[in-house]
Amino acid sequence: MELEDFENNLGLETKKKIGDFSKLNGHQFEDYLKELFSILGYQVMRTKLSGDQGADLIIKKDDMKTVVQAKKYAGTVTNKAIQEVVASKKHYGADKAMVVTTGTFTKSAIELAKSNKVEIWDKNKLKEIINSINKTSNKSKGFQNQQSLNLKGDTFPAHCPFCDSEIKLNVKDLPKKNKQKTLSCPECNVDLGISIPDNFYSCIGCKKEFDTVKERIDHSKLCKKVKERQFNCSHCKKEFTLDDDEFKEFTKKGNLKVECPACKKNNMLKK
Ligand SMILES: [Zn+2]
Ligand SMILES: [Zn+2]
Ligand SMILES: [Zn+2]
């Protein structure tokens, strides 16, 4: 597997791992929301599991207390949920009330929510919020979590951070240098950003820059400067490539002790 060690750090931007609600049960959905609200900067408390007075979470920010009812439904949420959360707002002495669902609301539930100042999030709103968290967290913090990807033939297998299903990224589909690409997970539909570190576009040997990862890989297979850095492990026989620092030291000293990335055993390289 040539170039494999070089490909190890290819980043699929995995964004916040907060699960995919379509596959969660009611209890897990509450956990999911708990995580979501804490990402949004709330202090989150769960109410007791039984006899919960129509509230599943109590969230607090800037001294404002909000009761949240979580409805893990595929269908529609009716007036009853609105009435319950209004009652629980009173019960907990909260300032605001909210109902969040993975489904939708009936027309009269929407009207009742409006007249009672209950904030409601349906599945579309929920997705919107998740996607906006992803966008802002990428800007401010860079990659949340880089997946390690190995090239298998022409594809990089990656996993959706939301639903964990496998997504096959073809080398040809990777974005051009300095460009981002967005794809929707075929399984859960959440938008995922793919952005690739700069070093994937330049040859590790001759430093030539390429517009696409595919061109760079095709080049590196033939580049003499890459060949100079490639060795086979004396233990497991797998090929590995020296990085810049290792290669510099090897050139200077004429020998180098390196750990094989595959089997972790030491190799003594000599010119
Ligand atoms: Zn997914
Ligand atoms: Zn080259
Ligand atoms: Zn080895």
From the CA of 18, the nearest ligand is 1
Beta partners for residue 105, in sequence order: 77
From the CA of 207, the nearest ligand is 2
Ligand 2 centroid to Cα of residue 227, in Å, is 9
Q: What's the pLDDT score for residue 22?
A: 66
Q: What's the pLDDT score for residue 143?
A: 27
How far apart are alpha carbons 20 and 18 in whole angstroms?
Answer: 7
Ligand 3 centroid to Cα of residue 261, in Å, is 7
CB 89 within 8 A of CB 69: no
DSSP at 16: -
Q: What's the pLDDT score for residue 232?
A: 92
For residue 42, give the nearest of 33, 29, 53 by alpha carbon. 33
Q: How many residues does the chain have?
A: 271
Q: What's the pLDDT score for residue 261?
A: 84
- 67: which residues sit within 8 A by CB, 6+ positions away? 54, 55, 57, 58, 85, 88, 89, 92, 94, 96, 97, 98
pLDDT less than 70: residues of the chain: 1-23, 48-54, 134-154, 156-164, 188-193, 195
Ligand 1 centroid to Cα of residue 170, in Å, is 17
Q: What's the pLDDT score for residue 150?
A: 44
Alpha helix segments (H runs only) across the chain: 4-7, 26-39, 79-91, 107-115, 123-141, 213-222, 224-227, 244-253
Q: What's the pLDDT score for residue 134?
A: 66
Domains of the chain: 21-130 (3.40.1350.10)
Q: What's the pLDDT score for residue 195?
A: 64
Residue range 13-27, pLDDT digits in tens = 433 344 456 667 777
Ligand 1 centroid to Cα of residue 179, in Å, is 22
